[in-house]
Amino acid sequence: MVSRRSRAVTISDVASLAGVSIATASKALNGKEDVRAETRQRVIEAAEELSFRPNALARGLLTGQTRTVGLLTSDSVGRFGIPVLLGAEDAFGAGEMAVMLCDARGDAIREQHYIRTLLSRRVDGLIVVGESTNTRPSISRDLPIPVVYAYGASNDPQDVSFVPDDVGGAALAVRHLLALGRRRIAHVTGPMDYKAAADRAQGLRITLEEAGVPQAGETLYGAWSQRWGRHAAEMLLMGQPEVDAVFCGSDQIAAGFVEAVRERGRRVPDDIAVIGYDNWDVFSIQTRPALTSVDMNLEILGRTAAQHLFAAIDGKATPGVHRLPCRLVIRDSTAS
């Protein structure tokens, strides 16, 4: 049990024990030149024995690099920030970076406060994770460190942003349905003011147009909930019984949809094929039948954003909004 009051061991202690100067100890431990192999070994053993951990504060103060990044999120309660955050954390962890987590809860004041704190702590860079794919105000201006936006893009095209390609994701889903021979495809999605909803609806429209297939009815906008999915299913089954496939804007909606369809005695996928979005396992593999779904590869997105933040820190910024491809996970709800 190390006493909590005992002064932490410094490189000076290591140097003493090894019988060398501080400078030599530093070089030995950092793999620098100009140290005899034998001396280096002695220093390393001394450090080991004292379980020496270099003081990152002192190092950072001197080098100007803290090997720390800030992760600014607006709403990490939300389901989508988390995987992005994890992917980023993963990439940073591999690069020996530490992550400071700040959740602004969608409050601009709080966000400003966090930015100040992070600057004070001299983080090397910043990742801003959106709460939705909607674009958000840029904070890059006047910040002395690079910033990368993930999930939701910055409104400044000069910034570096990484977002899922929802238009492409919808296209994947629709092409799959078309390939299965479905020709009466409807779309049920979330609130109209979500860019995610708009993008996916647009992807559907474009893809259907390319194939020369008309969309079955207008896109139905509602909430991102099972309740809305069920409600939409009832409306569709009543109003447009000819529909043979539905592309849902989220797995929650799709879960409600298939539940209602099943309840009405129609069968998925035989009568109606259903595709969800998000590939959220608590829904996609729990419904009857399991849902085919579009996966936004959010962990990869987070990781990519982190890697590009590294690059930006090294002065190699990659401005622009980068759209990362989605992936279709096929399950029983579209098995033909």
Interacting stretch for a second copy, rule CB under 8 A, among 40-48, 99-107, 130-138, 178-186? 99-107
Total of residues contacting DNA (CB under 7 A): 29
The residues near 38 (Cβ < 8 Å, ≥ 6 apart) are none
Based on the shown chain and the rule CB under 8 A, indicate whether residue 2 belongs to the binding site for a second copy: yes
Q: How far is CA 172 from CA 113, 227, 270, 271, 336, in A?
A: 41, 26, 20, 21, 17
Based on the shown chain and the rule CB under 8 A, indicate whether residue 114 belongs to the binding site for a second copy: yes
Residue 153 and residue 162: Cα distance in Å, rounded? 7
CB of 233 to a second copy, least distance (A): 13
DSSP 293-312: EEE--HHHHHHHHHHHHHHH
CB of 248 to a second copy, least distance (A): 15
Q: Note whether 200 and 169 are within 8 A (CB).
A: yes
Based on the shown chain and the rule CB under 8 A, indicate whether residue 297 belongs to the binding site for a second copy: no
Based on the shown chain and the rule CB under 7 A, indicate whether residue 8 belongs to the binding site for DNA: yes
Residue among 61, 67, 68, 103 nearest 85 (CA): 103
Looking at beta carbons only, is 69 or 246 nearer to a second copy? 69
CB of 221 to a second copy, least distance (A): 18
Q: Note whether 235 and 187 are within 8 A (CB).
A: no
Among 19, 32, 155, 227, binds a second copy (CB under 8 A): 227
Based on the shown chain and the rule CB under 7 A, indicate whether residue 29 belongs to the binding site for DNA: yes
CB of 330 to a second copy, least distance (A): 19
Based on the shown chain and the rule CB under 8 A, indicate whether residue 310 belongs to the binding site for a second copy: no
End-to-end CA distance of the chain, in Å?
A: 64
CB of 326 to DNA, least distance (A): 42
CB of 205 to a second copy, least distance (A): 29
Does residue 95 sit in helix, strand or coil? coil
β-bridge pairing 147-150 and 160-164: parallel
Q: How far is CA 148 from CA 127, 162, 191, 305, in A?
A: 5, 8, 27, 7
Based on the shown chain and the rule CB under 8 A, indicate whether residue 145 belongs to the binding site for a second copy: yes
Q: Which does 36 bind (CB under 5 to 8 A by kind): DNA, a second copy, none?
A: DNA
Q: Which does 235 bind (CB under 5 to 8 A by kind): a second copy, DNA, none?
A: none
The residues near 237 (Cβ < 8 Å, ≥ 6 apart) are 260, 261, 264, 266
Based on the shown chain and the rule CB under 7 A, indicate whether residue 34 belongs to the binding site for DNA: yes
CB of 21 to DNA, least distance (A): 3
Q: How far is CA 182 from CA 121, 144, 213, 321, 335, in A?
A: 56, 53, 10, 34, 12
Is the Cα torsion angle 83, 85, 91, 96 positive or negative in sign? negative
CB of 210 to a second copy, least distance (A): 35
β-bridge pairing 160-164 and 327-329: unpaired
Determine the Cα angle at 184 with ends 182 and 187, to 5°: 105
Based on the shown chain and the rule CB under 7 A, indicate whether residue 112 belongs to the binding site for DNA: no
Based on the shown chain and the rule CB under 8 A, indicate whether residue 1 belongs to the binding site for a second copy: yes
Question: Which residues make up the interface to a second copy (CB under 8 A)?
Answer: 1-4, 6, 8, 53-58, 60-61, 66, 68, 71, 76-77, 82-83, 85-86, 89-90, 93, 96, 98-103, 110, 114, 116-122, 141-146, 225-227, 252, 256, 259, 263, 282, 286-287
Question: Which residues make up the interface to DNA (CB under 7 A)?
Answer: 7-8, 10-12, 20-24, 26-27, 29-30, 32, 34-36, 39, 52-55, 58-59, 61-64
